[in-house]
A and B are shown apart, each in its own frame.
Chain A
C-alpha cells in the first residue's frame, strides 16, 4: 500500500536527530512493549509480512506521531484482536481510554503464482519494476515502482511477502538486489555519483525493453 510507512524520497522531515549514544530502550514501557510483542509473535506466529503490514495499516497521523515501539505495541494489539484473543473494547476498558489499533486489511494475495526458485534474471540484466501500487502489503517501495535498474546481485528465493501477508500461503520467489541511479529515481533532482540498491522479489520485476 502507498502508506506513510513507505518513506523513501519524501521531503519535509528535517534533520536527523542522532544523539551520539542512547540506551537500547529509552523508557521502561518500550522494554515492556518489546517483550509483549515477542509474546504475541510466539503465541500467534503471524510471520514477518503480516506483522509489518499490521504496522503499515496504522492511522497515518498516529504512525507519524509515535515512536517505533508504539508502532510495535499497536501491531501487537491489532494482531491479537484479529486473532480473536481480545477485542478493541476490552483493550480500551483495560487501558482506561482509547487504545488505537490499525485499520482493516484491504489487501489480497497475488493470483496465479506458484513457488519458483530458479532465477529468471542474471547479474547485469536490465529490469523495470512493475508499477501496480497494490492496496495491500508489498516490499516494492513506491519510489522504485516503474523505474529501471540493473540486477546487481542474485539472492536466495524467499517467501513472497505480498502473498504471506494476505493468507496467500508461503510462495517462494527469487530475490535480487537491483541498482538504480539517482537520476533514474529522482530525475533532475538526482545527483551523479549516487546509486541506490533496492532488494526486490522477482514478482516485482519485468524485462526492460
Chain B
C-alpha cells in the first residue's frame, strides 16, 4: 500500500465524516462482501450486554469469602476456580486473582490498550480505556486512588498490575466488616466492579 492509501490527514482536505456515517460505510462494505451476518453478530453483542458483566466476578468474590478452600484454589489457579462457577472464554483464559489485605492494595490497569477480564467483568467502562487512568495508574496510584475516593494510608503497600501480556487480573477485595450475617447470595450484592478493578475498597 502506498502512503497515499493510508490515513495521512494532510492529503485529505475533505471534512471528517461523522462517526455514524463511518460505521454505516463499514457495514455496507462488509455486507456487500458477505462478511456481515447480523443474526450471529447480534447474539455475540447481546451476550456481552446481558451475560458478561461484573455480576459474574461478584459471584467469584462472594464464594471466596465464604469458602476458604475455594479462596485457596482461586489464588492458586484462578482460571480453573472461576471455571468452577461457569465463567471463562476470551479474555479470561489466563486469569490471576490478587487479594487485598489490610496492608496491601491491588490495582489493575492496561497501559497499552484496554485488556480486561471479559468473562468476569464484561466490557470495560470508558474511563478504564482512556488516557488519564492508563497514564496515571502506574505513575501515581496513591494520588489517583485518593481522587477516585479511596484514601489509603501511607503504610498500605500498593501493587499495580499492568496486564501487558496474556494474563487478565481480578482483585479479591477484603470482606467488609459487618457482613458476617449475610448469605453468599447477599454478599454478591456487596461486591462492586470498581473493587474488583482495585479503584475502590469495600
Interface residues of chain A, those whose CB is within 8 Å of chain B, are 5-11, 13-19, 22, 24-26, 29, 31-36, 38-40, 42-43, 52, 55, 58-59, 62, 64, 67-68, 70, 73-74, 76-78, 80-82, 85-88, 90-92, 94-104, 139-141, 143, 153, 155-156, 158, 175, 177, 185-186, 189, 191, 193-201
A24 to B129 Cα, complex, angstroms: 13
Contact A199 B166 (CB under 8 A): yes
Query: Which chain A positions have C-beta within 8 A of B132?
Result: 13-17
Contact A102 B6 (CB under 8 A): yes
Interface residues in B2-38 (C-beta closer than 8 Å to A): 3, 5-9, 12, 14-30, 33, 35-38
Query: Which chain B positions have C-beta within 8 A of A31?
Result: 45
Known: A7-B135, A33-B26, A77-B26. 12 other contacts (CB 8 A): A16-B130, A33-B23, A70-B19, A73-B22, A77-B22, A91-B26, A95-B24, A97-B14, A98-B17, A191-B142, A197-B159, A199-B162
A39 to B24 Cα, complex, angstroms: 13
Q: Which of B64-72, B107-115, B174-182, B183-191 contacts A (4 or more CB under 8 A)?
A: B107-115
- With contacts A141-B162, A158-B165 taken as known, whether A95 is within 8 angstroms of B22 at the C-beta atoms is yes
Residue of A nearest to B21 (CB): A95
Query: Which chain A positions have C-beta within 8 A of B17?
Result: 92, 95-99
Contact A99 B141 (CB under 8 A): no
Q: Pick 25 A–B contacts, CB within 8 A, sort by A.
A: A8-B139, A9-B111, A9-B139, A13-B132, A18-B148, A24-B53, A29-B19, A33-B26, A35-B42, A36-B36, A40-B35, A55-B113, A92-B14, A94-B25, A94-B29, A95-B17, A95-B24, A97-B16, A98-B12, A100-B16, A104-B1, A104-B3, A139-B165, A177-B161, A193-B155
Residue of A nearest to B103 (CB): A193
CB distance from B50 to the nearest CB of A (A): 9
A143 to B36 Cα, complex, angstroms: 40
Contact A5 B112 (CB under 8 A): yes
Contact A7 B111 (CB under 8 A): yes
A73 to B35 Cα, complex, angstroms: 16
Query: Which chain A positions have C-beta within 8 A of B137?
Result: 8
Report which of B122, B125, B135, B148 forms a contact with A11, defined as CB distance below 8 A. B135
User: Which 9 pairs from chain A and chain B are nearest by CB?
Assistant: A97-B17, A8-B111, A199-B165, A95-B17, A94-B25, A43-B35, A13-B132, A95-B25, A68-B129
Query: Which chain B positions have C-beta within 8 A of A34?
Result: 45, 48
Query: Which chain A positions have C-beta within 8 A of B125?
Result: 18, 22
A193 to B155 Cα, complex, angstroms: 7
A40 to B94 Cα, complex, angstroms: 25
Query: Which chain A positions have C-beta within 8 A of B63?
Result: none
Taken residue by residue from 119 to 155, chain B's Cβ proximity to chain A (1 for < 8 Å, 0 otherwise) reads as 0001101110111111111111110100110000011
Residue of B nearest to A89 (CB): B5
Report which of B15, B138, B166 forms a contact with A175, defined as CB distance below 8 A. B166
Query: Which chain A positions have C-beta within 8 A of B3?
Result: 104
Contact B45 A38 (CB under 8 A): yes
A36 to B37 Cα, complex, angstroms: 10
Query: Which chain A positions have C-beta within 8 A of B77?
Result: none
